[in-house]
Structure formats: C-alpha cells, structure tokens
Structure 1
Amino acid sequence: MSAARDYGLDDDYEWPRPPEGGWTADDLDELPNLPPHTELIDGSLVFVSPQTVFHMRTIRLLDRALEFTVTLNDRNRPEPDVLVAHAGADLGPKQTRLLHGDVILAAEVVSEDSVDRDRETKPRKYAAAGITHYWRVEQNNGLPVVYVYELESTTKTYVPTGIFHNRLKLTVPFLIDIDLTAVNRRR
C-alpha cells in the first residue's frame, strides 16, 4: 500500500514540498488539502495520527475552548489540544490562528505519537513565546493526570506547580474545579 493511500489520498497525490528554509506560519493557511490538525514545528509540517478515545474524552472533559493554531514565531504554529485566550483576542469569523500574546493557557493531551512533542518540544516553544500557563495531560490507568506548569519570566522556562490525579482544582490562571474521574462517564 502506498503512503498516499495510508492517508486516504489518491496514489497520484503530490505531497507538499517545503521551500528552502522550511514552511512559515503564513504558509499553513495557503497549502491546499492538508489533513485536519496539521501543525508547523520548526518549519516542518506535522500530521497527527488519529486520536484515541481517551484523548478525545479528555479534551471534552477539559472543555475545548477553541480549535486554533497559535503562531509562536515564523516557523512554529502548533495546535494545542486545549487553549484559553484573553477576552480581547481577535476571534473573528475568518481567523484561523491566534498570536502567542493572546494565549493564557496551552494544554496538550499526550498521545503515543506526540510524547516527545508534548513533553519537550511544545512546552519549550510555548515558554519561549511567553505563554504563561501550560498543562500536560497523561493517562494513568485510564484516567487523566494533569501536570500544571507556570512560566518563570526571567528564564522563560516552565516550573511545575502541581500534579493532579482525581480532581483539577486551581485558582490560577482562573478558578477551575474538574472531577478528572468523570472522563469515562457518559453525558
């Protein structure tokens, strides 16, 4: 089976060829026929694999606020699984992305294909861009565990502020109280 068919494309599909120096954040809106949730990391397109039931239920549990990519710089435009933006952020009907300064919180639910990106690459890039809060969500015995980080502004790195197993209860960056054990309950 060809790689094109693996992605549900015709055998004669032409894969996008990057320009010298790689893709830019602006290119992501212009490239035709990209799969949903394509990200730009270090100038390269990243296609995510289908998500597990745990991944989708956890995103729903955390109340996915927006489905946007975030322009961190010219070569990086990731799509957090969950994000929260400032009230004044430009969320007009034709927007496809937010600027990093508009984002208060970026959260990633770790999948098999995203372990390194969600544990190392994305948090480092979010911190360098000045996004104040980062949550990484891992699975433990079928339940989410939320690792909460806050930006230390002088070093532009995240410091851990808590690990939450059964209940995510915070006052920063906003009041929140989520029963994490509800991830598998039908609504």
Structure 2
Amino acid sequence: MPAVTLPLPSGDTWTRADYEALPEDLPARVGLVHGELVVNPRPRPIHRRIARRLATRLEDAAPDALQVDTDVDVLLDDDEMEPVEIAPDIVVYSSRHDPYERPIPADLVVLVVEVVSPSTKRKDRRVQPGLYADAEIRHYWRVETDHTAPAFAIYTYELDDATGGYIATGVHHDRITVTLPFSLDMDLKAVRE
C-alpha cells in the first residue's frame, strides 16, 4: 500500500475546513474530536456486515420522514476552536437533509448506532455516548458482538433531559422491540449470523 501524506492543519488544532479538505478515500477512518484528528483502522468485515444488516432493517422500518446511512459524518459541535465531527456506524436522520451534503447536523439526527469492536470498546462504551449526548442526539444504541461481550446484544439508550446523559432503556439479545425513535420489532438472528 502506498504511503498516505495528510495535509497539516492550518493552525494548532484541526478546523472543520481542514477536516473537510481531507480526501474521502483515506485508508483509515478519521474523525475530528475537539480539534484533534482521530485516526482509526477500518473495521473488520464482520463489523461492517452487522452494521449493514442492522441499517437495512432500520431503513425498512423507518418512516418516510427519516433516512438511514452507514459511516457518514455527523457534525456534533461546530465550535471554531474545538469542532467535533465523526462518523457513527449507523445514522438515522431527517429526510430534510440532502444526502449529497456532508456533514449531517446533529439536530437532524434521531439515532446513532455503534457496533463495538475489540479495538473500539472504550470509545463506543464511554467516549462516543458522551459526545452524542452533548450534541443532544435523542437515541443511542450500542451493539455488542460475541467478540466484545459474553453474548450478542443491542443496548438501547435515550437522552435524559434532567441530566443531559443517556439512560438505559433495554438490553436486547434475540429480538428488539421498541417504539422509539420509531416502531421496530426485529429478530436479531439475521443481523448477527
């Protein structure tokens, strides 16, 4: 694989303009967290497969007012000095957003889903939920796989207006049945196998 040279930020920290100027075909996943460029390896095929299968089922169940995509940038904080722009594994957001435009503003996002990998456990369980809650994204789901937990499960959370953090709303092993952010009743066997 040829070496990749990234441009340097225009100042001491990365701005949104610096981040947006990065090429789209980087061999790694990158995000922008409080003005720092965060580089992660591309996920394993099983990670992508679970995200793709779950996204397809979410898309089938979502009302027309929502659209579902995988690995797309969401602008969580537009702070000039410490912006936050990352790509969750799955994003469910308003159909008002033009899918040709990036990033998706956080106020149009109703649900983000992270599929936990052995290398992203800390980030997906602790760091990302805090960033999503700070951006006031109402629903967060975390998918634990057989490689990250004793059993496959989807953990669902909803933003608590009193604390500004997420509260657990369920742990789903074989089937997920929820009414928020929209009605969904799904056998998880097809997602995990």
Pick the TM interval, shorter chain. Answer: 0.7 to 0.9
RMSD: 2.2
In the TM superposition, what is the alpha-carbon distance from 1:160 to its structure 2 partner? 0.4
Corresponding residue SS for 1:63: helix
User: What is the TM-score with the length of structure 2 in the denominator?
Assistant: 0.80
Give distance in 1, aligned partners of 2:33 and 2:122: 12
Corresponding residue SS for 1:182: helix
Give distance in 2, aligned partners of 1:148 and 1:38: 25
- Higher mean C-alpha deviation, range 146-155 or range 35-44: 35-44
- Work out whether 1:28 is the aligned partner of 2:32: no
Partner AA of 2:69 in structure 1: L
Query: Which stretches in structure 1 are left out of the alignment for 5+ residues?
Result: 1-7
Give distance in 2, aligned partners of 1:139 and 1:124: 21
Per-residue CA deviations over 1:95-134 (Å, capped at 9, x if unaligned) read 1210010100011001122111111111001001100000
Percentage of pairs with the same residue: 34
- Work out whether 1:149 is the aligned partner of 2:140: no
Corresponding residue SS for 1:22: coil
Contact 1:38 1:48 in 2 (8 A): yes
In the TM superposition, what is the alpha-carbon distance from 1:92 to its structure 2 partner? 4.4
Query: Which stretches in structure 2 are left out of the alignment for 5+ residues?
Result: 57-67
Corresponding residue SS for 2:91: strand
- Work out whether 1:70 is the aligned partner of 2:78: no
Per-residue CA deviations over 1:161-181 (Å, capped at 9, x if unaligned) read 000001111111101122111
Contact 1:143 1:180 in 2 (8 A): no
Contact 1:25 1:73 in 2 (8 A): no
- Work out whether 1:45 is the aligned partner of 2:26: no
Give distance in 2, aligned partners of 1:92 and 1:107: 18
Q: Which residue of 1 aligns with 2:171?
A: 163
Contact 2:107 2:137 in 1 (8 A): yes
Corresponding residue SS for 1:159: strand
User: Matched residue pairs, number?
Assistant: 174
Which of 85, 103, 109 lines up with 2:109 in the alignment?
Answer: 103
CA distance 1:146–1:9, change in 2 (3 Å): same
- Higher mean C-alpha deviation, range 37-46 or range 168-177: 37-46
User: What is the TM-score with the length of structure 1 in the denominator?
Assistant: 0.82
Per-residue CA deviations over 1:79-98 (Å, capped at 9, x if unaligned) read 0101100232x2242x1210
